[in-house]
Structure 1
Amino acid sequence: MTNKFWTICVLATFLTGMGACSKYLDVNVTPNNPTSVTPGVLLPSSEVGSAFANANELNRFGEVVIQHLAGAANNPANYDIYQTNGADFGNQWRFELYGGALINYQKLIETANLTKSQAYTGIAKIMKAYTFSLATDVWGDVPYSQALQGDAITQPRLDKQQDIYQGNTALGIQSLFDLVREGLTDLDAATATTYTGIKPGNDDLVYSGDLAKWKQAGNTLLLKFAATVSVVNPQLATSVITEVLSRNQYITSSANDLNVPFGASVNSQDPRYAYSFVTNFSSDLILSTRYLNLLQGLNDPRLPLYFTSPGGKYTTIDNGFRGVLPAPVSTWSKYNAAIVGNTGVGPVRLITNFQRAFILAEAALRLGTPGDPQALYTEGITASMALAGLTSAQITAYLTANPAVATLAGTSEQKIAQIILQKYIALTGNGVEAWNDYRRTGYPVLQPSQNAAGIDGTRPVRAVYINEEVQRNPNFPNPSPQSNAKVWWQVK
């Protein structure tokens, strides 16, 4: 992303999201004069907003909790021993999600509707569904159907997570699945020969206005949502997966992944890179010893591509470690270019080809949906390794030399455990998504951190509602559900 584009994105976020946040009405802010900001300005700021929300503090939390990384100081050190409360994630709730990306998508939809520009509304609805899923997956029940309504509803209700995913006609709640389908319908209209609305171009940081790729992304997002509910509602998951497969419009190449790029200059970099290499918090995160041992035990060739080894040595700490930290910080193993790009250009990967392959492999075993689990599993590993920078020859050599990794074996449940383990490795850098899979399936099996505290020493399975919202909105439960209270789709 150029510096000019980044400036536009930041300005748009300020104009459309930040102006009313001082009142903590982030779930219902209404910017002044929204039609004065064009779809071409709103779209890139919104896309960057979703990527930032995924890759910033929520990612740090997820990466530490599921032990890709270890927390050495400040908030990550607390997350590593399962200490989290309503003072955490206020910025994520107020500025990155409700007062940032979500309100931007709402304004984009409203603005684009004025000119019947379904190309923009279609993209916005797909990304709005993704961003709302991020919120509900982290917190559980959240403002959804009544959110983003401005002064009309200043204290929105919390919709139950099952209603957000499944819909509730009696309460006027549209499911996330139907919100994506509505976006796909808009994209179909935008590709019709009679279409007269505005279409995106370079203002679309993801696909440069290629609506066919957006349709693939939307359908692949439906697969992700289906996987999320597959344990608690297998019938719905099966129906959605069958629907998507029948359309045959989903991501099948890593070249078509839903990626959001960042820039190489300070203040425009991927937040994962900036936090670890640019900011004053560079000594907060380090590669987990447990994750190092896992990858080395599997002879995984992605290890040196995922993480640095200054001086040819991996420097790590165990999760929950409370001793003297390694010195100097410059020797620590941190994210490498395969995760954050050279000098922080990213991209942040929101929906990927390898995810699609692993999702369908798991579904074939769990639900009996079409597809060969072994072929899909191999496809997922191959796509992930190629994305990290390995050649076809290197990938083939690894799979040949490591048959215990390459071949699914045992019961269906044991095969699912293998699939999720490889997905967990492939999701390095996307802590929220790896945390989702861990909560949903119980895989991979993770041992508690040293010095585990928190609620009964248990690994967090949700974020606690932020204090500001609990205090100002009586619809929030008080006391708030704690970090050991499962969300609806988690039955493991």
Structure 2
Amino acid sequence: MKNIVQKAFLVLPFLVGLNGCSKFLDVNVTPNNPTSVPPSVLLPAAEYGSAFTNANELNRFASTVTQQLAGAAGSPQSWDVYITNGADLNNQWRFEIYGSALINYNQIIALADASNSKAYSGISKIMKAYTFALTTDVWGDIPYSQALQGEGNIQPRLDKQEDIYKGNQSLNIQSLFDLVREGLADLEATSVTKPGNDDAIYKGDLAKWRRAGNTLLLKLANTISRKEPALAKSVIDQVIAGGQYINSNADDLNVTFGASVGSRDPRYEYTNVSLFKDDLILSTRYLNLLQANNDPRLPIFFTKPGANYVTWDNGQSGARPTPVTSWSRYNAYVTGANGEGPVRLLTNFQRAFILAESALTLKTAGDPQALYTEGIRASMTLAGLTAAQIDTYLANNPKVATLTGTDAQKLEQIITQKYIAFTGNGLELWNDYRRTGYPTLRDSQNAVGIDGTRPVRAVYITQEVERNPNFPNPSPQSNVKLWWDVD
């Protein structure tokens, strides 16, 4: 696999050329001279790599199929009517995931373990687990336990998604949960060197990394909770008992980009700068949802250059609204005023909604209503609303504020508010939609694809299918559910 070479990508990715995809400067790492590229150099590149992966083409794809955005042209227009293929996410797989973030985390772990710098190992194991989870949640079975071995194995097997999440001792597959736990243990160990400003996320604050790691355990458990409720409950119970998870917006795992050319958030580049900025527009359906809820975050999330929001319905045909400068697009809350973002990977509102859902469906500790309200408040506070404004909104909108009806109806409310809060992170929207069926989304107009079915997985990369005989050929189509998708 070309993406499993011993290389480290040492600068920020950026959108270039005619395809709007990532480009990196790669620097060979010599295994016989590991000190030539220390963990302090590799760590920020890896962290930015994970954030770039989340916010780049995967976000555009997932935000379109979950109808926060609508495709006006190019690939998003095809995704909007459920047309996908093995070339769609090629650069994301090869250059952003395996060829950048993951190989860097792996290298950091090796270097840090050799120099007894366990703080670097702990951070990298947590972020490696996050990035592998992202990858399996998009494609299903993936190279995992045999990946990242360089020339030692250029055709790694695909591990089953179930084994990636749960582990398989007979196949020497470590579960994502155990990878995170190993990272948390490393954070507690003595470390000769510790990160500072080279940590692009928490500036070396290991207490915040412990909270992030435990919150990642909540996220992983939540993802498989419909398939493996007993396991999910066990993990969530343990995290709640420990009490060390993100419970403040100040502890969110965010990656902030630069504000200059070449270092900006890919959502900013695509929305405001690239040749493809007119490929995406605010979905009419998402506008309708926010307006029906009187949601005060609407003008914070999306622009309104004129008197009204200018949108497009998902799958709609015909001439696009003119002028394009009137279109409603991501606002600075998502992209940053000048491209700094941040990319929100693990958040306080996410934690609250996960615990609200698990209290409702798995009977874990906590009151679903209180946790649901906490999630809404955390999101609205993050968007810049004052406590008084939030109080007024909740008092005036009881249909939003109060969980009512059956457990299924309450779950729909929780997931719908989580969907709104995660504006700008399409992968989280898509994950929740696939595993719960919420929020309720109507099929796009003129839907085609595989039997007119909304994609529930990405198609394997054509180059990998042709190059590695361990990939299934023909590949599963976009209508074949993942292991954890039981909705």
Question: Quick check: TM above 0.5?
Answer: yes
Matched, 1:15 2:10: no
Take 1:66 and 1:446, find their aligned partners in 2: how far apart are those partners? 7
Contact 1:167 1:173 in 2 (8 A): yes
Take 1:287 and 1:32, find their aligned partners in 2: how far apart are those partners? 51
Contact 2:194 2:204 in 1 (8 A): yes
Contact 2:221 2:233 in 1 (8 A): yes
Aligned AA (1:285): L
Aligned-residue offset at 1:176: 0.2
Q: Answer 1 or 2: which has greater helix percent.
A: 1
1:275 to 263, 270, 273: 270
In structure 2, relative to structure 1, the CA distance for the partners of 1:30 and 1:488 (3 Å cut) is farther
Contact 1:30 1:148 in 2 (8 A): no
Query: What secondary structure, in the 3-state scheme, does the structure 2 residue paired with 1:310 have?
Result: coil
RMSD value, Cα? 1.6
| Equivalence map 1:336-485=2 (5 Å) | 336-485=331-480
Q: Which residue of 2 aligns with 1:142?
A: 142
Contact 1:269 1:344 in 2 (8 A): yes
In structure 2, relative to structure 1, the CA distance for the partners of 1:34 and 1:279 (3 Å cut) is farther
Take 1:390 and 1:55, find their aligned partners in 2: how far apart are those partners? 24
Q: Which residue of 2 aligns with 1:95?
A: 95
Aligned AA (1:340): T
Q: Report Cα offsets for 1:215-258 as digits up to 9, x if no partner.
A: 00000000000000100000000000011111110000011000
Aligned-residue offset at 1:7: 7.9
**Taking structure 1 as the reference length, what is the TM-score of the superposition?**
0.94
Q: Which residue of 2 aligns with 1:105?
A: 105
Sequence identity (%) = 68
In structure 2, relative to structure 1, the CA distance for the partners of 1:154 and 1:32 (3 Å cut) is farther
Take 1:303 and 1:88, find their aligned partners in 2: how far apart are those partners? 30
**Taking structure 2 as the reference length, what is the TM-score of the superposition?**
0.95
Take 2:195 and 2:30, find their aligned partners in 1: how far apart are those partners? 24
Q: Report Cα offsets for 1:390-447 as digits up to 9, x if no partner.
A: 1111111000000010000011111111100000100110001100000000001100
Take 1:65 and 1:432, find their aligned partners in 2: how far apart are those partners? 10
Aligned-residue offset at 1:147: 0.2
Aligned AA (2:356): A
Query: What secondary structure, in the 3-state scheme, does the structure 1 residue paired with 2:26 have?
Result: helix
Contact 2:11 2:25 in 1 (8 A): no
Query: What secondary structure, in the 3-state scheme, does the structure 2 residue paired with 1:286 have?
Result: strand
Contact 1:338 1:389 in 2 (8 A): no
Q: Which residue of 2 aligns with 1:184?
A: 184
Matched, 1:209 2:196: no
Q: Report Cα offsets for 1:307-359 as digits up to 9, x if no partner.
A: 00002320000001121011121111000111111111110000000000000
Take 2:248 and 2:335, find their aligned partners in 1: how far apart are those partners? 20
Take 2:446 and 2:437, find their aligned partners in 1: how far apart are those partners? 21
> Unpaired segments of 5 or more residues in structure 1?
1-5, 20-28, 190-194
Aligned-residue offset at 1:9: 4.2
Q: Which residue of 2 aligns with 1:22?
A: none
Take 2:32 and 2:309, find their aligned partners in 1: how far apart are those partners? 51
Aligned-residue offset at 1:91: 0.1
In structure 2, relative to structure 1, the CA distance for the partners of 1:100 and 1:85 (3 Å cut) is same
**Aligned positions, number:** 471
Contact 1:113 1:121 in 2 (8 A): yes
Query: What secondary structure, in the 3-state scheme, does the structure 2 residue paired with 1:318 have?
Result: coil
Contact 2:84 2:449 in 1 (8 A): yes
| Equivalence map 1:29-40=2 (5 Å) | 35-40=35-40
Contact 1:13 1:45 in 2 (8 A): no
Take 1:36 and 1:440, find their aligned partners in 2: how far apart are those partners? 44
Aligned-residue offset at 1:32: 8.8
Deviates more, 1:309-318 or 1:232-241: 309-318
Aligned-residue offset at 1:461: 0.1
Take 2:69 and 2:396, find their aligned partners in 1: how far apart are those partners? 28
Contact 1:81 1:452 in 2 (8 A): yes
Aligned AA (1:177): F
Aligned AA (1:14): L
Take 1:179 and 1:70, find their aligned partners in 2: how far apart are those partners? 37
Aligned-residue offset at 1:15: 3.1
Aligned-residue offset at 1:457: 0.3
